[in-house]
Amino acid sequence: MSYVDEVIARVIKENPSEPEFHQAVVEVLQSLRPVIAENEEAFRKDALLERLVNPERQIKFRVPWIDDKGQAHINTGYRVQFNSAIGPYKGGIRLHPSVNLGIIKFLGFEQIFKNSLTGLPIGGGKGGSDFDPKGKSDREIMAFCQSFMTELCKYIGADTDVPAGDIGTGAREIGYMFGQYKRIRNLFEGVLTGKGLVYGGSLARTEATGYGLLYITEEMLKCNGIDISGKTAVVSGSGNVAIYAIEKAQQLGVKVLTASDSNGWVYDKDGIDVEALKEIKEVNRARLTEYKKYRPDSEYHEGKGVWSIKADIALPCATQNELDLEDAKMLCANGAIAVAEGANMPTTADATDYLMEQGVLFIPGKAANAGGVATSALEMSQNSERLSWSFEKVDKKLQNIMIDLFHNIDDAAKKYGFEKNYVVGANIAGFEKVVTAMNAQGIV
């Protein structure tokens, strides 16, 4: 059995009930076959792949909090510190009822390669809780965040592990967590990113993931002889990533036809009104059913459906495995030319294979959504020098990072004979830097 197959079999056996983690590991290790084959004996001797797929540390803790009626609740908190070969652990905190250890491990594993691809010195980590922020009052959110940080603060720090936002964690939650960290540790330091602008946050971090997604999509299309301007797009999600992906797409001349949340989706043939979306989601924290009040000619549908709308580009920006084989077939039947993943692993493995077989340009999340964490690393740099850069400066750096990232993965794909396979390119390019650092640091 090849070393790759051996390690995949062990991961599946030793981590039961973690299908998302298996999916992420299988995708990465399958892509790495040509690189592993060149070094199989040395890697096996050093248990390189076993070390890569086993987190350096995983922390699980109880999060007690009291609701507005005086009822106590217990949630489970997680932080998986996956790999620190190239820098302090870095990655978001997801607050969603679906969170479990396997989900956090899949996200932490992906984060290793994504962070490496940014070219910045950040290792891979992820955290979260099965807490559901929906329908909670500000006081309840604060109670949860303070309790979560009371335990998490023992394991993180500006040079150790720097969490940030993800699903369910935005500026409000980061603020409450930062306040509690500072209070307990008595340290005003860059321990979290995505902070408010007046206490160490970076301009353009809010926009960064969505904007970065469009910068890299534009570059990928350009390198394939296609102008992004004048194209149509379907977007899923209506959170942080989706909103700023839609905003930048429109700035680049793309008409975005859809957005969604976990209840339903909107189709606006005249193009999504992004200011309406911001007011509904960022200000009112309401549901997408509200969208029709702003745009009476739009359609609202319950359930899932954005991939059934004809468009040139698909941007899944909600959650994992939200675009399956049936969806991929609909996109292809409607003539889609590109899929770029704003979310982490939103496309199922069979759908990814199908899209690439059909010649759809496909850019995986660990490359396409890396603009968020890259800008988090820029926030860390600003915190270290105790300065704040202008929006234009951060945005320009973000743009350059995404363009360089695209060429880096394109080159890696070509080097191993997988031209235009950006999945293989991203995994190999991300891995090469991490493995060089791991080899230099000995068996740790």
Which residue stretch of 24-32, 137-145, 255-263, 295-303 sits at the interface with ligand NDP (rule: CB under 6 A)?
Answer: 255-263
How does DSSP assign 87-116, residue by residue?
SSEEEEEEE-TT--HHHHHHHHHHHHHHHH
Q: Which of 156, 214, 317, 338 binds ligand NDP (CB under 6 A)?
A: 317
How does DSSP assign 220-256, residue by residue?
HHHHTT---TT-EEEEE--SHHHHHHHHHHHHTTPEE
Say which DSSP state 285 is in.
Answer: -
Q: Which of 50, 38, 47, 45 is nearest to 9 (CA)?
A: 50
- Is 438 a binding residue for ligand 2IT by CB under 6 A? The answer is no
To the query of whether residue 126 is one of the catalytic residues in this protein, the response is yes
Q: Which of 364, 409, 372 is nearest to 394 (CA)?
A: 372
- Is 239 a binding residue for ligand NDP by CB under 6 A? The answer is yes
SS3 256: strand
Q: Which of 90, 105, 114, 126 is catalytic?
A: 126
Question: Looking at beta carbons only, is 166 or 218 nearer to ligand 2IT?
Answer: 166
- Is 367 a binding residue for ligand NDP by CB under 6 A? The answer is no
Q: Which of 81, 344, 382, 399 binds ligand 2IT (CB under 6 A)?
A: 344
Q: Which residues contact 50 (CB under 8 A, 6 or more apart)?
A: 7, 10
**Residues present in the chain in total:** 444
Question: Looking at beta carbons only, is 166 or 219 nearer to ligand NDP?
Answer: 166
| Residue nearest ligand 2IT by beta-carbon distance | 92
Pairwise CA distance, residues 112 & 120, whole Å = 12
What single-letter amino acid sits at 323? L
Question: Looking at beta carbons only, is 35 or 207 nearer to ligand NDP?
Answer: 207
- Is 289 a binding residue for ligand NDP by CB under 6 A? The answer is no
Smallest gap from residue 385 Cβ to ligand 2IT (A)? 19
- Is 209 a binding residue for ligand NDP by CB under 6 A? The answer is yes
Neighbour order of strands in the sheet with 264-267: 258-260, 264-267, 299-302
| Residue nearest ligand NDP by beta-carbon distance | 239
Which residues does residue 78 pair with via DSSP β-bridges, in sequence order?
A: 60, 128
Element at 126 (helix H, strand E): strand 123-129
Residues 371-430 close enough to bind ligand NDP by CB under 6 A: 372
Q: Which does 90 bind (CB under 5 to 8 A by kind): ligand 2IT, ligand NDP, none?
A: ligand 2IT
Each residue 302-341 as x (binds ligand 2IT by CB under 6 A) or -, in order, gives ----------------------------------------
C-beta separation of 370 from 349 below 8 A: no
- Is 342 a binding residue for ligand NDP by CB under 6 A? The answer is yes
**Residues at the contact surface with ligand 2IT, assessed by CB under 6 A:** 90-92, 114, 164, 166, 193, 344, 372-373, 376
Catalytic residues: 126
